[in-house]
Amino acid sequence: MAYSWCSVLAGLACLALADSVVRARIPTTLDGPFKPFTAPFDASLRGNAVDLPDSDPRVRRHVQGFEPEQISVSLSATHDSVWISWVTGESQIGYDIKPLDPRSVSSVVRYGQFRYPLTHEAEGHSLVYDQLYPFQGLQNYTSGIIHHVRLTGLKPSTRYYYQCGDPSIPAMSDVYYFKTMPVSGPRSYPNRIAVVGDLGLTYNTTSTIDHLISNKPNLVLLVGDVTYANLYLTNGTGSDCYSCSFSQTPIHETYQPRWDYWGRFMQNLVSKVPMMVVEGNHEIEEQAHNRTFVAYSSRFAFPSEESGSSSTFYYSFNAGGIHFVMLGAYIAYNKSTDQYKWLEQDLANVERSITPWLVAVWHPPWYSTYKAHYREAECMRMAMEELLYSYGVDIVFNGHVHAYERSNRIYNYTLDPCGPVYITVGDGGNREKMATQYADEPGNCPEPSTTPDSYMGGFCATNFTSGPAAGKFCWDRQPEYSAFRESSFGHGILEVKNATWALWTWYRNQDSKKKEGDEIYIVRQPYLCPDHQKKIRQLYGRLMGKSHGGCLLFAMLGQI
């Protein structure tokens, strides 16, 4: 993790001045660690956690024949490439289905910097997936034809217009546009990155997306649990709680048409703004022959190959001066696994003088104080936390818990200025409603035996051995690592200002679109961390023998 001497001095020199600029209005992590705070819960603000019906015009199929629908953009590993995805043809659900032939329709994108003419053309690949059940009475599903086309050779921070489909039929879409990411560098960042989790397709979801669009993001991160199609039987009957309502089903069914509904609803946003997705537990969707995650892996395009990954469950990409690592919590993650080895290599390749910010994303949080899913991902934390910490990850985004929570900087349950800030945003609008109970409240601490990682790691969570909760499984008050928590639906916006400062804002659905529910500047301080102190001393030694007035001027003017 190399740091240029100029960027290091810039970070050091700007802190005092920048702190004085923002201290009076917005808190910063320099003011922390913060005393734990819990926002009062207003039961009337639980929102309308009811799914949009299939009769809602926003989820109906409006195209004809093989015209493209469910159009979306996602990023490749670097700024000069993006993926365009879409669906053609109708899906089928029933007892006698016949998959469409992907070879029957071409995958073509025409694009350029001007709406007319679109001077470039790229071809990609297509596929059809099935959701099959080996039980009598369950309906099977086959998708429309899903297309993925990668555009390459793109310029940074540039608007491109595009049209997708098959020009030989002809069946082409309208003309859409997207903007590429900035070139990677310590002074180059997307303006706004939206972060949302556990989205679903409820009336809460529509409020979340409406608010999110009003913030005009350049990129969207979806931290798992996409459609909640697995809250439905194959006959379309749904429930807020699958296990409660359908406890006798022979397999956990899923109603795949809701993926199509979700794709249509989201097209207005993701046909223009790139969206990057990581899998959640609701994407497991087991089917015949124990196949899982098929819809997730088929419907989205991932920069897996471009980032050296062999899996759709973990990958990485750059967005300006930010390096994102997207990790899989429902695929093996121990040190001997492919995912861990890939992560180790990916982090080792990060050049922090080019991408100073390092952000990690996965679905279930390691640090959450809610009763729901309490310490459920402890096995993953024990396997991977040291690696992420040693490479100086700055921020971690999670979902899964249907509430909002922001931590102080933490490592191994201990306040640590070198640890990441963990932010849980698992409350985008799902049908299962929000989490409102805390594990530290009387009677809410679960039994340790009820908190295994049932998907990958087995049982890892035990009583704490040190600190205020020593000998206990839960704290008896809001833990010191929990800076702010609140039960509400909403989304967040990350605005990276420079190599050391980033503004994080949480927007609640119940507020006006301009009001903030939580707001803080996250400030990188790599020079405080033991792994970097020797390197910083060496850099200072070099600087003392150099004329660095220009670099100091950069620190004072360019870093705020």
**373 classed as catalytic:** yes
Say how far apart CA 526 and CA 500 lie, in whole Å: 9
User: Which of 148, 363, 373, 491 is the catalytic position?
Assistant: 373
CB 136, CB 86: distance < 8 Å: no
DSSP states of 42-103? -GGGS----BPPTTSTTTS----TT--EEEEEEE-SSTT-EEEEEEES--EEESS-----GG
Torsion of CA 184, 119, 147, 159, to 10 degrees: 40
Say how far apart CA 186 and CA 7 lie, in whole Å: 8
Tell me 42's DSSP state: -
Place of tokens 């640590």: 416
Cα-Cα end-to-end distance for the chain: 23
Say how far apart CA 81 and CA 509 lie, in whole Å: 33
Say how far apart CA 344 and CA 382 lie, in whole Å: 15
Tell me 41's DSSP state: P
Say how far apart CA 315 and CA 32 lie, in whole Å: 32
Give the closest residue to 324 by CA, choosing from 79, 498, 11. Answer: 79
Catalytic residues: 373
